[in-house]
Structure 1
Amino acid sequence: MAKELTFGYSPCPNDTYMFNAIAHGAVGVDGYRVKPVLHDIETLNGMAMDALLDVTKLSFYAWLKAKDRYRLLDSGTAMGFGCGPMLIARKPLSRAEIQRCRVVLPGRWTTAHLLLRLWAPDADQRIFTTYDRIFETLASGQADCGVIIHESRFTFESAGFTPVMDLGAWWEETTGLPIPLGGIAARRSLGQALIRQIDAAVNTSIRRAMADPDETLPYMRRHAQELDDTVLQAHVRTFVNDFSLAQTDRGRRAIEMLESMAREAGAI
Structure 2
Amino acid sequence: MTPTDRPLQIAYSPCPNDTFVFDALAHGRVPDAPPLDVSFADIDITNGMAERGELDVLKVSYAVLPYVLDTYTLLPCGGALGRGCGPLVLTRDADTTDLTGRTVAVPSEKSTAYLLFRLWAADTVPGKVGDIVVMPFHEIMPAVRDGKVDAGLVIHEARFTYQNYGLHKLADMGEHWETTTGLPIPLGAIIARRALGQTTLTHLAASIRASVRAAWGDPEASRPYVMEHAQEMDPAVADQHIGLYVNEFTADLGTDGYAAVRGLLTRAAAEGLVPALGPTALEFP
TM range (shorter): over 0.9
Taking structure 1 as reference, are residues 28 and 127 closer, same or farther at Cα in structure 2, changes over 3 Å only?
A: farther
Taking structure 1 as reference, are residues 90 and 224 closer, same or farther at Cα in structure 2, changes over 3 Å only?
A: same
Which position in structure 2 is the counterpart of 1:23? 26
Q: Secondary structure at the match of 1:27?
A: coil
Which position in structure 1 is the counterpart of 2:88? 86
1:133 is displaced (CA, Å) by 1.9
Cα distance in 2 between the residues matched to 1:174 and 1:163:
19
When structure 1 is superposed on structure 2, of 180-189 and 134-143 the one drifting more is 134-143
Taking structure 1 as reference, are residues 150 and 29 closer, same or farther at Cα in structure 2, changes over 3 Å only?
A: farther
Cα distance in 2 between the residues matched to 1:99 and 1:41:
28
What amino acid does structure 2 have at the position aligned with 1:9? Y
Q: RMSD value over aligned CA atoms?
A: 1.6
Cα distance in 2 between the residues matched to 1:93 and 1:76:
40
Instruction: Identify the match of residue 158 of structure 2 among 152, 177, 183.
Output: 152
Taking structure 1 as reference, are residues 190 and 226 closer, same or farther at Cα in structure 2, changes over 3 Å only?
A: same
Q: Secondary structure at the match of 2:233?
A: coil
Paired residues in the alignment total 266
Q: Kindly provide the CA deviation profile for residues 202-251 of structure 1, in whole angstroms up to 9, marking residues without a partner as x.
A: 11111111111111111111111352221111111111100000011111
Matches within 5 A, 1:253-264: 253-264=259-270
1:129 aligns with 2:135: yes
Provide structure 1 residue ranges, at least 5 long, that are not aligned to the other structure.
none
1:25 is displaced (CA, Å) by 2.3
Q: Kindly provide the CA deviation profile for residues 80-122 of structure 1, in whole angstroms up to 9, marking residues without a partner as x.
A: 1101111111112545x31211111111211011111111142
Taking structure 1 as reference, are residues 161 and 176 closer, same or farther at Cα in structure 2, changes over 3 Å only?
A: same
Whether the aligned pair in 1 keeps the contact of 2:12 and 2:59 (CA below 8 Å) is yes
Name the TM-score, length of structure 2 as normaliser.
0.89
The percent identity for this pair of structures is: 39
Name the TM-score, length of structure 1 as normaliser.
0.94
Instruction: Identify the match of residue 9 of structure 1 among 3, 7, 12.
Output: 12
Taking structure 1 as reference, are residues 102 and 116 closer, same or farther at Cα in structure 2, changes over 3 Å only?
A: same
When structure 1 is superposed on structure 2, of 41-50 and 137-146 the one drifting more is 137-146
1:33 is displaced (CA, Å) by 3.3
Whether the aligned pair in 2 keeps the contact of 1:98 and 1:123 (CA below 8 Å) is yes
What amino acid does structure 2 have at the position aligned with 1:98? L
